[in-house]
Amino acid sequence: RCLQRTEELQNLIKDWLTLARVEGGTLVNERVEVDLKQIIPVILNSYEEMAAAELVSLEVVWPEDALFVWGDRNCLNVLFDNLITNAIKYNRPGGKVTVSGCLAGTRIEIAVADTGVGIPEQYRPFLFDEFFRVKGEGAKRTEGTGLGLHISKKIVSEMGGSIEVESQAGIGSTFRVRLPAWHEPLENTEIGSWE
């Protein structure tokens, strides 16, 4: 129990430090070309053991083309790590997590879908608030700080993107992230005009 509590406190401190960097505008340190088809499979591979323990399968559905975004590689890792971890934790035995991507105009859209417990409608407006966790009958009891989705939204906003959720209680949830697609920068373009 002591080891478990220590790990929970370490996770809380880590999330607090990440949140402090986001709030201070110091988390997104670079805006470069990043191929999401390279970093997301690495995250999924790192959670194969966790998913297997939860009896959850992992699937990726990619287009043939690369999915290049303007972004910070470290922040993108934090963002999709949070979403994929939640999709596994809030799933059901025999369930599935599917990550898919596509080019939608000037944006890259990534969807992280699960077949889990879903989110009751009354809780959805608060999902991205600090420390918010779904409670009540039917809620799955999992470890966490309640900061993951808040941090994810801050990262997406700082990169000029958006995040939204679609969910049905008892059926599952899909988180959609839209980020600016990478394009050849114009000469003499300032870093602030990258979107």
Which residue from 99, 125, 129, 132 is spatially nearest to 114, judged by alpha carbons? 99
Give the tens place of pLDDT for each residue, 80-127.
999 999 999 999 999 999 999 999 889 999 999 999 989 888 888 888
Give the tens place of pLDDT for each residue, 61-91.
999 888 999 888 888 998 999 999 999 999 9
Question: Do 172 and 114 touch, CB atoms closer than 8 A?
Answer: yes
The whole-number pLDDT of residue 125 equals 84
**Positions of E strands within the chain:** 32-35, 57-61, 68-71, 96-104, 107-114, 162-168, 172-180
- The Cα 18–Cα 99 span in angstroms is 24
The whole-number pLDDT of residue 20 equals 67
Name residue 3's amino acid.
L
The whole-number pLDDT of residue 23 equals 66
DSSP letters spanning 110-135: EEEEE-SS---GGGGGGTTSTT----
Question: Is the model's pTM score more than 0.85?
Answer: no
Beta pairing partners, 168: 172
The whole-number pLDDT of residue 193 equals 43
Question: Do 118 and 93 touch, CB atoms closer than 8 A?
Answer: no
The whole-number pLDDT of residue 7 equals 63
Which residue from 127, 128, 110, 109 is spatially nearest to 118, judged by alpha carbons? 127
Q: How many CB atoms lie within 10 A of CB 32?
A: 13
Local confidence band at 170 (pLDDT 50, 70, 90 cut-offs): confident
Q: Is a pLDDT exceeding 80 seen at residue 11?
A: no
The whole-number pLDDT of residue 130 equals 74
